Copies of this chain bind each other. A is one copy, B any other.
Amino acid sequence: MTAEIWDVIIVGAGLSGLSAADLLKKRNDKLKILVTEAKDRVGGRTVTSEIPAANGVDRWDFGGQWVGSTQPHVLELIKELGIETYRQFTNGKKVYHTGGPDAKIRIGEGGLPASSLLGLLDLAQLYWKIDKLTATICVEDPSKSPNAFELDSMTLQTFIDRHAWTAEVKEQMAMANRPLFGMEPCQTSFLYFLMYAAAAGGLKALLESTEGSAQELKLKGGTQQLSEGLAERIGWKNVQLGAAVTAIWQDAEYAKVMTATNTYLCRAVIVTCPPHLAAKIQYEPPLPSQREFLTMNMPMGHILKFIITYKTAFWKEKGFSGEVVTGSSSKCPFNLTLDASSPYGSPALVGFIAGEQATEWSPKEFEERRDAVVSSLVKYLGPEAASFIHYGEKDWAKEPYSGGCPVNIMVPGALTYYHSSLREPCGRIHWASTETATNWCGYMSGAIQEGHRAAREVLAKLCPDALTQEDKEAAKERQTVKQEEPSKFSFLPSIKTLVMAAVAVGAAVFLAQNPDVLQNATTYVTKWFSNDQE
């Protein structure tokens, strides 16, 4: 036990915790700050590992990987640390396999190769509805959005069931949801889903690899460098690895942060671990009930991520981008693969096993899963896929002190009843993680936003004079709650929708009898819909 008194103890050396420490140090370098981290590394849900590759060994991200040019907080850090970015490779044919393992595999260039014009129109009308609703969401406090209770009373699946016309689009929505949340659409509040999209600037930004989207850019050398760079800046001696916090007690004078071997006295604490892990710490006095109910209603998603390295990027040679999107099936473990060739020339694919696929495939033996991944790649990209150099994977549910990935979502009702506890400090304890973000919630950028926000809260208490004009504006900006007019949206199909449906069905029937027209129309609609900026 140390008798030393710290100004701030930060629980968790991921992007939130280290960004908080960094801002505190920047504003007042006299502050005594310690970051305690349960894992034996920094980075939280980002980790960059070396695996055998065409160049001998090379580095890949097994956690958070992409950033987008609309993510101010992470971009600023990347710039400060002098890390180079490069574009996600997307050129070439894409493979789509929906409708079950025996359905036809579809291959398309550019946009989405729908099985039918009706399917395309259906997807367009569904996205249009979601976008319209997303625009009405108050991200800072979603319970203040128009029709908030109605939207929070249903699951995303309920919305899909009501508003998608085709089985194809229902399946596509689930497919998109899996790598996004590591969950199925039935597990998420629809209001939460809309908030998540709104915090990213829209559904398209979440799903695409185009400019400004979530999958736009990668970091040369990997994303764990961001945390390592921050740890360097605040001083590695201020980061205590392998120190899991078990209890936080507070009284009128101090907070006491306890690990298995140490007790740290401090004036403020910033807890940055994912909410379901923050809930496992023992607090004295106990946290307010609403905070406990909040974390009970924020389950984590489940994703396994794999990197498979090859001698040559055979998919590119054959005109494929490496993007394979598949529906849930018991034959193929993954939902999505993309090109992951390193900027140093090592060809690789990255893949995601998520949601119900993770539930099914995570308990199996490593070899069984790997072999199923490889044989699926052979099926979709050709026999060359069998001759890989290395298959490396990370099951985030099995990672100690993560227990899942990418994000703790909210179940129906949580935003309505418990959201007010999400960022509300509890005495000396402040909360920050990507889950509390309003700008790219669930992403690295959001984690940094929140580390900074919590640091500003602590500065306002401990040394308000250290706050800059920029800090005060950042705090004020967040408090400006966007209040929209209640939308006219109704959950009954509108006349417009019904007319669109009728026209679409009519058009599909007509076009099926006129294949040439269909060919041209599909190409046109595909381009219109994908709205590709490249």
Binding site for B on A (CB under 8 A): 149, 152-155, 157-158, 161, 183-187, 246, 276, 279-280, 282, 286, 288-290, 292-293, 296-297, 299-300, 302, 356, 359, 362-363, 395, 397-398, 400, 403-404, 411-414, 416-418
- What is the minimal beta-carbon distance from A153 to any residue of chain B, in angstroms? 4
Cβ 8 A contact of A412, one of B149, B157, B300, B363: B157
Q: Which residue of B lies closest to A408 (CB)?
A: B296
**Nearest chain B CB to A169 CB, angstrom units:** 16
Residue of B nearest to A403 (CB): B292
Given the known A-B contacts A153-B158, A411-B187, are A417 and B300 also in contact in the complex, defined by CB atoms under 8 Å?
A: no
CB nearest neighbor in B for A298: B296
With A153-B185, A183-B413 already in contact, 12 other A-B pairs whose C-beta atoms are closer than 8 Å: A153-B155, A153-B158, A154-B186, A276-B296, A286-B400, A289-B395, A293-B299, A293-B359, A293-B397, A359-B417, A359-B418, A411-B412
Query: Which residue in B161, B280, B302, B413 is a CB contact (below 8 Å) of A187?
Result: B413
Complexed CA–CA distance, A300 and B403 (Å): 20
Is A299 a contact of B411 with CB atoms below 8 Å? Answer: yes
Docked-complex contact A184 and B413, CB < 8 angstroms: yes
A152 proximity list for chain B (CB < 8 A):
186
Contact of A154 among B154, B363, B418 (CB under 8 A): B154
A-B contact pairs, 19 of them (CB 8 A): A152-B186, A154-B154, A154-B155, A154-B158, A155-B155, A157-B412, A184-B416, A186-B416, A187-B411, A187-B414, A279-B280, A286-B400, A289-B397, A290-B362, A290-B363, A293-B299, A293-B359, A296-B299, A299-B411
- In the bound complex, CA of A404 to CA of B413 (Å): 17
* B residues near A184, Cβ cutoff 8 Å: 413, 416-417
Chain B residues near A302: list those with CB within 8 A.
Answer: 289, 293
Report the 4 A-B pairs with minimum CB-CB distance, sorted nearest first: A289-B397, A153-B186, A296-B299, A187-B413
Bound-complex Cα distance A300 to B161 (A): 28
Q: Give every chain B residue within 8 A of A359 (Cβ-Cβ).
A: 290, 293, 417-418
Is A362 touching B289 in the complex (CB atoms < 8 A)?
yes
Query: Hey, which chain B residues are within 8 Å of A292, CB to CB?
Result: 397, 403-404
In Å, the complex CA distance between A411 and B413 comes to: 10
**A189 CB → nearest B CB, Å:** 9
In the complex, what residue of chain B is closest to A160 when comparing beta carbons? B153
Taking CB atoms, residues of chain B closer than 8 Å to A153 are: 155, 157-158, 161, 185-186
Separation of A414 and B40 alpha carbons in the complex (Å): 32
* Distance between A1 CB and nearest chain B CB, rounded to angstroms: 16
A282: chain B residues within 8 A (beta carbon):
280
Interface contact A398-B286, CB-CB below 8 Å: yes
When distances are taken between beta carbons in the complex, the residues of chain B under 8 Å from A157 are 153-154, 412
Whether the Cβ atoms of B280 and A186 lie closer than 8 Å is no
Question: In the docked arrangement, what's the CA distance between A403 and B293, Å?
Answer: 9
A299 — which chain B residues lie within 8 A by C-beta?
Answer: 293, 296-297, 411
Closest residue of chain B to A275 (Cβ to Cβ) is: B296
In the bound complex, CA of A387 to CA of B351 (Å): 69
Point out the residues of chain B lying under 8 angstroms from A280, CB to CB.
279-280, 282
Give the residue of B356, B403, B412 whose beta carbon is less than 8 angstroms from that of A155. Answer: B412
Give Cα distance in the complex from A357 to B398, angstroms. Answer: 38
State the CA gap A299–B297 with chains docked (Å).
6
Q: Which of A286, A297, A411, A416 has the most CB of B within 10 A?
A: A411
A299 to B288 CA separation, bound complex (whole angstroms): 16
- List of B residues within 8 angstroms of A395 by Cβ: 289
Which residues of B sit under 8 angstroms from A418, Cβ to Cβ?
Answer: 359
The answer to whether A363 touches B288 (Cβ under 8 A) is yes
CB nearest neighbor in B for A292: B403
Cβ contacts under 8 Å, A293 to chain B: 299-300, 302, 359, 397, 404
- Inter-chain contacts of A161 with B (CB < 8 A): 153
State A398–B287 Cα separation when bound (angstroms).
9
Taking the closest CB of chain B, its distance from the CB of A135, in whole angstroms, is 23
- Give the distance in Å from the alpha carbon of A16 to the alpha carbon of B288 in the complex: 28
- Measured CA separation A276–B294 after assembly (Å): 12
The closest CB in chain B to the CB of A418 belongs to: B359
Chain B contacts for A417, CB-based, 8 A = 184, 187, 356, 359
CB distance from A150 to the nearest CB of B (A): 8
